[in-house]
Amino acid sequence: MKIKSNNKKYVFLGDTNSINIEIIIKSHSFLKGKIKFIIICNKIEVINYLKKIKSNLGINEILDPINFHNYKINHLNLFNVENKYPKKYKNLLNQLHISNQLSNSTGYDLITMPIDKSVFKKYIDFIGITEYLGKINKKNTFMLMQGESFSVIPLTTHINLKDIHKNLLEKNIKKKLKNILETLDKSKLSYNYIKFLCYNPHCGEESTIGREDTLISNLINKNFKRIVGPFPADSAFTYIKKKTLFISTYHDQALVPFKILNKKGINLTLGLNYKRLSPAHGTAKDIKYKNMSNNSSFLKCMLN
């Protein structure tokens, strides 16, 4: 594992039909002198965006992103990736692959800015960047949403709600929990409490709603002494002790309370050879060019 603790990072710009560039510009003066970062993007798209918001921040094109040669502290430093394809998703995937290669080569953190998943889903089987990076790196990856109050890991992420039960086979849960604990140890992330959330309301009400939570309870008690539960999700977040990690069976079960109760949060991918982080928000294209974006999550990623 090449993970390094230093002040050099790569930023995959993601979807430019968004607040991504605005957030980076807002953060530039604060990060200057603290973090050196290179944006992996298409230069023309960035220039056009800067013109629309009338930004005077200069652009510096980096030709050697491995060694950060010719880095200019008072500019936006970017590595230009030409748009070779007519389809937007292919150009974004190309940028993501290059970003992944750079972080694998150097061990420097990769911050991925938000994308519109529907742009990809129209053409390919695409769940999200966490899963895609796992696929191209041949790694088991997990989404850890890390906040100042608590953290969460959903066992299933961006899938249809009606398909969640298909992922609750005993062998699948056991394998995923084992991988999560091993990955947490490798990443040197420790929690005082790891709590599993029930799948059904009120933990199935003694199997009268469903037997899934009985299965989960037996599996945890038998195989995972570091994990406690399962706990009813409707009351699990009323009192939270410090350094608690919640494991949920599906995305919104944990992400809704996470985003309400944590003022600052980041998306951290576990399982890669480098640290990948992402702001805990979407593209927010409805407010682009309006100078309304909040850059606190991006700053937390950069300073993590």
Domain range annotation of the chain: 1-142+268-296, 149-261
Helix runs in 20-169, H state only: 20-31, 43-52, 88-106, 117-121, 129-137
- Domain made up of 1-142+268-296: CATH architecture: 3-Layer(aba) Sandwich (3.40)
pLDDT number for residue 292: 80
Give the mean pLDDT of 189-207. 88
Give the pTM. Answer: 0.85
Q: In whole angstroms, what is the distance from residue 187 CA to residue 172 CA?
A: 22
Gap between the Cα atoms of 284 and 133, Å rounded: 23
Amino acid in position 25 = I
In this structure, what token pair is assigned to residue 75? Answer: 């500019």
Distance CA 24, CA 28 (A): 6
Give me the half-sphere count of Cα atoms (radius 13 Å) on the Cβ side of residue 166: 5
Q: How far from chain centre, in Å, is Cα 114?
A: 9
Q: Which letter does DSSP use for residue 269 in this model?
A: E
Q: What is the mean pLDDT of the chain?
A: 89
Confidence of residue 245 (pLDDT cuts 50, 70, 90): very high
Q: Which tens digits make up the pLDDT trace of 81-138?
A: 999 999 999 999 999 999 999 999 999 999 999 998 888 988 988 888 888 999 999 9
Contacts of 45 (CB under 8 A, 6+ apart): 13, 16, 83
Reply yes or no on whether the pLDDT at 47 is more than 90: yes
